[in-house]
Amino acid sequence: MFLAPVAAIAAAAVAVGPAFASTPASAPARTADNGNSTGVDGEANAPAKRSLRSAWVGTRTGAMVKSPAWVGSARLNAGWAYGNGGAHRAWDVGLWLGTPVHSPRNGVVIGLNDGVANNRPGYNPGSNASSNWVLVCHTVKGRQVSTYWQHLSPGIKVTVGQRVSGPRMGSNGRPIPGTGTQLGLSGNTGNSTGPHLHLASFKGCASASVAGNNSTAAWTRYNYLNRPETLFYEPSRVWNRPTIDARSLIATTRKSGRSGEVVKFRKAVLAKSRSARAGSGFRKLVRQAKRTYGWHNHGGLPNRGFLKKLAWRTENLGVR
């Protein structure tokens, strides 16, 4: 695995996702269109087991959700639990068939499956049906986290082993949706009752191997259900994180080397370089930064290439 180990950083404030408060269980409103406002996994129709009827946590079903992974807001057709109370522990996002889906954070593609045609409207081929999916490994606060993007249309846009980028940052410091590397188009493949995106996140990453449903990475796709200790819920935790854009950082640096953003960035990088968990590669980079750009000299101007390189090693800073 070529991902550099990264240490946890307590520096920048983290934008947190929706609170993990319990919300009253209520079945999603169902309409007859079988469209993106109702599409969920086929399991949603399986009989609920009492043991799986956990309290509903996170964003409630029916809420509109946003992400850098898609443009605009979409209906959450199922969240922590299905309408029947069965464990879901993922998001079923009501995206129209063919909606571009982008990586919400830097990462590496560790698995995928492609070539399955979208289901005919109203027809679900069942729980053994193959789907198109992508599995991406990210580093979130120094910890490896996998994201699983399922039911995609045929025509995956990435390859196994490919590095993917998160979104560009707007001038307001917020990520611009739809500007990260495109993974594919949302769809309705596999065990699915209608067009939707199934998005799960869990701790740990398999190593990238080969495409297809029979790979080391593919076998980890349901860790979030089978191994509760790997739960990393909700998926929004992957993109709700400190964000510093290299381009805007440089622009700010040109104006004033003492600006808040630059000072925050320096503090975080220096704290990380002192951490026991910082890799030798990272320490080398920081030494190079100090030498080349004069980190002790507020007039120093790190260039974009350097910051991008640094970004891969400080991903938990959200540097792009």
CA angle 74, 48, 46 (to 5 degrees): 70
Residue 148 vs 239, nearer CB to Zn ion: 148
In angstroms, give the least distance from the CB of 150 to Zn ion. 7
Q: Residue 191 CA to chain centroid, in angstroms?
A: 22
What is the Cα–Cα distance from 14 to 243, expressed in whole angstroms? 9
Q: Which residue, 139, 150, 167, is CA-closest to 111?
A: 150
Our finding on whether 41 is near Zn ion (CB under 5 A) is yes
What is the Cα–Cα distance from 77 to 107, expressed in whole angstroms? 26
As a residue count, the chain comes to 320
Residues 286-305 that bind Zn ion (CB under 5 A): none
- Tokens standing for residue 188: 């309705």
> Contact region for Zn ion (CB under 5 A) — 18-26, 29-37, 109-117, 191-199?
191-199
Residue 57 vs 90, nearer CB to Zn ion: 90
Binding mask 258-277 vs Zn ion (x if CB under 5 A, - otherwise)?
Answer: --------------------
Position closest to Zn ion via CB:
198
Residue 198 vs 320, nearer CB to Zn ion: 198
Our finding on whether 234 is near Zn ion (CB under 5 A) is no
In angstroms, give the least distance from the CB of 210 to Zn ion. 25
Residue 124 vs 243, nearer CB to Zn ion: 124
Q: 164 to each of 137, 138, 141, 180, how far by Cα in Å?
A: 10, 9, 18, 7
What is the Cα–Cα distance from 117 to 249, expressed in whole angstroms? 44
Residues 115-174 that bind Zn ion (CB under 5 A): none
Buried b (16+ CB within 10 A) or exposed e, 172-200: eeebebbbbbbbbbbbbbbbbbbbbbbbb
Q: What are phi and psi of 284, to 5 degrees?
A: -65, -45
What is the Cα–Cα distance from 33 to 168, expressed in whole angstroms? 35
Residues 81-100 that bind Zn ion (CB under 5 A): 90, 92
In angstroms, give the least distance from the CB of 286 to Zn ion. 42
Helical axes 246-255 vs 260-274, angle rounded to 10°: 120
In angstroms, give the least distance from the CB of 131 to Zn ion. 11
In angstroms, give the least distance from the CB of 79 to Zn ion. 9
Residue type, 57: V
Among 75, 105, 138, 198, binds Zn ion (CB under 5 A): 198
In angstroms, give the least distance from the CB of 18 to Zn ion. 18
Residue 198 vs 313, nearer CB to Zn ion: 198
> Contact region for Zn ion (CB under 5 A) — 33-41, 102-110, 115-123, 281-289?
33-41
> Contact region for Zn ion (CB under 5 A) — 41-49, 160-168, 223-231, 236-244?
41-49
Residue 92 vs 315, nearer CB to Zn ion: 92
Residue 94 vs 318, nearer CB to Zn ion: 94
Give yes or no for a contact between 57 and 63, defined as CB atoms under 8 angstroms apart: no
In angstroms, give the least distance from the CB of 21 to Zn ion. 21
In angstroms, give the least distance from the CB of 166 to Zn ion. 23
Q: 206 to each of 104, 220, 247, how far by Cα in Å?
A: 19, 7, 32
Residue 91 vs 282, nearer CB to Zn ion: 91
Applying CB under 5 A, which residues contact Zn ion?
41, 90, 92, 198
